[in-house]
Structure 1
Amino acid sequence: MGRNGVDRDRYQASQSCSDRFQGAFGAPRAEREQQFSKFMEHLPLAVSIKDKSGRFLFANEFMKDLLAADDPVGKTLGELLPPEEASMMAVNDHQALTQGLLLIQNRVNDTYGDERIFETYKFPLPMPEKRTLLGSISVDITERKRAEQALALKQQQLEELNRSLEQRVQQAVDELRQKDRLLIQQSRQAAMGEMINNIAHQWRQPLNNIGLIIQNLQLQYEAGEMDSEQMATEVGKAMDVIAYMSRTIDDFRNFFHQDKERQPFVVNQMVSRSLDFVLPGLKNSGIDVECREEPNVSADGYPREYMQALLNILNNARDVLLERKVKQPLIRIAIFRENKRSVVTIHDNAGGISDDVLPKIFDPYFTTKEQGKGTGIGLYMSKTIIEKNIEGSLTARNVDGGVEFRIVV
């Protein structure tokens, strides 16, 4: 294309832009052209028009600064840009001319050598005589990109902080769980000592019975009164007692097997089995037990852990009754349903707990017993088992001259 062709295209391109501007404002032609010129001069966008060969027909001031060219009109990209950049721009120009509106992002160095990021719209401009030019508008999005990168960095830092916090929280949770496991183990070991003592009480009478049966067998044999039927009867009595003692050992062993999964259980049975462990010791200490219950009160959770919570509370009641030397010591137990949940209350008549101490009784290692007579973890573990493991509630209050523990599951 010759110089005259470039001038004609330049005139038509500028006239086309000017005419659109003039039509919008309806001012006299000279004034409109001046307005359009000022508009393009101060427009904070890079605007250009090129012909199909890539030669500039129009470039506003922003585009001139971007190209570092006083007057790019009549020049091609190859004359203004490095070869690699010019080649890439030519490909984009061709795509916009053949396919329509094209949106691209490109990075260029400004006159100060700083990298700038532009979002560029390229689009065909239909002209008279079936000719098509290429329009281009570039928006400097460098600051937006920097803000996005800064935001992404902050987001990454926040995510890393969250991960770090999650790890620290998980570590703290794991440490607390380990602490709870150790406390449970410690509590179970303490319960084991209690149970061994209870078994000693449970076995004393059966062992006496077996001794009497053996003595009776010997006396009958010496008197010549022993026949096969009598022998079978006495042996049967002895075997019944031995079976009872064996069940006691089984109950003792099963108690220390940990429940692996939640399961439904009958609360009445758990209370009954717990009493089997402690009742001989309570009777030996002169402590009476009264139990009022609705039949077949059920719950869901971990039955052996539930029993351990009951035993801790029963042992606590026994200890305080003995410590305070209560006349006619009594433990009252009630089992019933309330709002579709199971409720067990355990009440003693030991005089209650002072108001300043009552809120602390479930704290770990808190005890009102003399040094060496209590670990202070029994009630804490009972609350942990009922509330954390079984998702129920365990509370205590002063009522009727004593303390009432209330378990709701």
Structure 2
Amino acid sequence: MTHLNQQLLIAYECVSAIGISLQLEEMMAHFLKVFSRKTGALAAIYWKAEGKESYKNGCFYGKKAFVPLFPHPSLKMKDGTILDVPHNKKHLLHVKIAEDWIVFLFDAPKEEIELVKAIITSFNAKLENAIRACKNHLELITINQTLEKRVEEEVHKNREKDKHILHQSRLAQMGEMISMIAHQWRQPLGSISTIAASIRLKIALNRLEWNTEEERTRSTLFLEDSMERIESYVKFLTHTIDDFRNFFKPNKQKESVTLPQLISKTLEIIGKALEINGITLNVQTYENEPVFTYTNEVTQVILNILKNAEDVLKERKIEEPHIDIRIQKEEEWETILIEDNAGGISPEILEHIFEPYFSTKSEKNGSGLGLYMSKIIIEEHCKGEILVKNGTMGAQFIIKLHGASHPDESR
């Protein structure tokens, strides 16, 4: 009876040592230590399966001098095998735990080791479950680390893709910009040419006379007026170049700006092109709260929407074409609504309008990137919203930006 109680006590102590940690080596090292001390084992080793016929020394308990006495596990070995140590009176007890092995070194008769086998059998299932739990935990950690790495890689790929798409979008818009510059410059360049021709004609006809005080005054006033007009046109051309250069210069920091200022800045770029194409602009605004945003990028979005409206109005040959721009406040949003009178967008196209490379202008070499980048700029960069729906006259684009005092303005 005393012997049985001792076995039960040893089993209880060993069971308590199982599962103290989800770190496999830490848990097994503690178990080997407790079990060896309670059963009188001189040393113990845990062999972890690494593959078919491949085992790794997971942990060892005992004096290092005993290490050479432990042979490498073999597939021929059976669970519970007791082997004599060559040239020694000691014995090895091999215990199979799932696909792993635990081997104990004893300096005791085989009869006593058989009792130890019985003790191990009593909690074998619990030890096996604890080892598998540790392995599953390690596998889960590895999967999570791998998943995090894969997610990081995919995020990086998406960022690179967006950079590439943005670059393509900018290249596509540069072609449109050149056309707008031509519209902006045609009238002032023509005026400069007319003034220069007028001066040259007067010189050729000897109409610039300096003989009397009256003639000198008249000629001087003509030349001064001509030079002032030329200087005015040159300033306009220089200002236009600055507008286009700044448009392509990426914002490094957010700025405080009102929506009417953004609209005005955009119309300085595209206004002349719309005027030449006979498109009327109706702008309704109010004294609204400033927004804290990337000015050039939002200007790019407004410009892209207006250019798309111009294209569809010309393509459909709309009589009395016009574009309405309304600035208003909706709860926490400062909102720009842009609507043309071209009749709207078909429902099957409307749901794909912000997808990359989706374009209805293939015959015009439309890139399908403008509205995709507009969505990226407004929603990811500026933390706003951009929507599209069919209004009463045509397509209506809605740009929503947080006011400068809104909590999201610093993001």
TM-score normalised by the shorter chain: which range applies?
A: 0.5 to 0.7
User: In structure 1, what is the Cα distance between the partners aligned to 2:254 and 2:369?
Assistant: 24
Q: Which amino acid aligns with 2:39?
A: L
Structure 2 equivalent of residue 80 of structure 1:
none
Q: CA deviation at 1:229?
A: 4.5
- Residues 287-298 of structure 1 aligned to structure 2 (within 5 Å): 287-298=279-290
For residues 89-128 of structure 1, the aligned pairs below 5 Å read 112-114=93-95, 115=102
How far residue 39 of structure 1 moved from its aligned partner, in angstroms, is 6.8
Whose Rg is larger? Answer: 1
From the superposition, tell whether residues 212 and 63 of structure 1 become closer, same or farther in structure 2 (CA, over 3 Å). Answer: closer
Whether 1:45 and 2:27 are equivalent positions in the alignment is: no
Tell whether the 8 Å contact from 2:340 to 2:396 is kept in structure 1 after alignment: yes
Measured after TM superposition, the shift of residue 262 of structure 1 is 2.8
Cα distance change, pair 149–330 in 1 and its aligned pair in 2 (3 A)? same
Structure 2 residue corresponding to 1:369, chosen from 355, 361, 376: 361
User: Equivalent residue for 1:398?
Assistant: 390
Supply the distance in 1 between the matched residues of 2:288 and 2:202 (Cα, whole angstroms). 47
Tell me which residue corresponds to 1:215.
Answer: 197
Contact 2:354 2:371 in 1 (8 A): yes
Give the SS at the match of 1:251: helix
What is the distance in 1 between the residues matched to 2:202 and 2:248? 43
Which residue matches 2:346? 354
CA deviations over 1:256-310 (Å, ceiling 9, x no partner): 1111233332222121111111111111111111100113542122111111111
Letter in 2 for 1:208: G
Q: How far apart are 1:44 and its partner, in Å?
A: 4.1
Distance 1:111 1:369, change over 3 A: closer
Indicate the residue corresponding to 2:315 in structure 1: 323
Is the partner of 1:356 in helix, strand or coil?
helix
User: Any idea what the Cα deviations from partners look like across 1:325-346, whole Å, max 9, x if unmatched?
Assistant: 1111110001122213210010
Residue 59 of structure 2: aligned partner: none
TM-score normalised to structure 1 length: 0.66
- Selected match of 2:39 from 21, 42, 66: 66
1:165 is matched with 147
Shift of residue 111, structure 1, vs aligned partner: 7.1
The answer as to whether partners of 2:344 and 2:395 remain within 8 angstroms in 1 is yes
Q: Contact (CA 8 Å) 1:397, 1:405: kept in 2 or not?
A: yes
Question: Residue in 1 aligned with 2:108?
Answer: none
Matches within 5 A, 1:236-247: 236-247=228-239
Residue identity opposite 1:189 in structure 2? L
What is aligned with 2:297? 305
Deviation at 1:359, TM superposition (A): 0.7
Q: Give the match for residue 380 of structure 1.
A: 372
Aligned identity (percent) is 35
Question: How far, CA to CA, are the matches of 2:357 and 2:226 in structure 1?
Answer: 51
Q: How much has 1:148 moved relative to structure 2? A: 5.0
Instruction: Tell me, yes or no, if structure 1 residue 265 matches structure 2 residue 257.
Output: yes
What is the match of residue 179 of structure 1?
161
Which piece of structure 1 moves more, 144-153 or 170-179? 144-153
Show the counterpart of 1:195: 177
Q: Is the 8 A contact 1:270 1:303 kept in 2?
A: yes
Tell which deviates more after alignment, 189-198 or 342-351.
189-198
Q: Which amino acid aligns with 1:112?
A: L
- Where 1:170 maps in the other structure, the secondary structure is helix
Measured after TM superposition, the shift of residue 142 of structure 1 is: 8.2
1:101-155 residue CA offsets vs partner (Å, 9 max, x unmatched): xxxxxxxx997355589xxxxxxxxxxxxxxxxxxxxx98987676555444333
Greater RCO, CA 8 A, separation 6+: 2
Structure 2 Cα separation of the partners of residues 289 and 343 of structure 1: 18
Question: Residue 65 of structure 1: CA displacement?
Answer: 9.6
For residues 143 and 181 of structure 1, the distance between their equivalents in structure 2, rounded to whole angstroms, comes to: 56
CA gap 1:381/1:151 in 2 versus in 1, 3 angstroms: same
Q: How many residues align?
A: 303
- In structure 2, distance between residues paired with 1:352 and 1:227: 58
TM-score, with length taken from structure 2? 0.66
**What amino acid does structure 2 have at the position aligned with 1:167?**
K
Whether 1:276 and 2:263 are equivalent positions in the alignment is: no
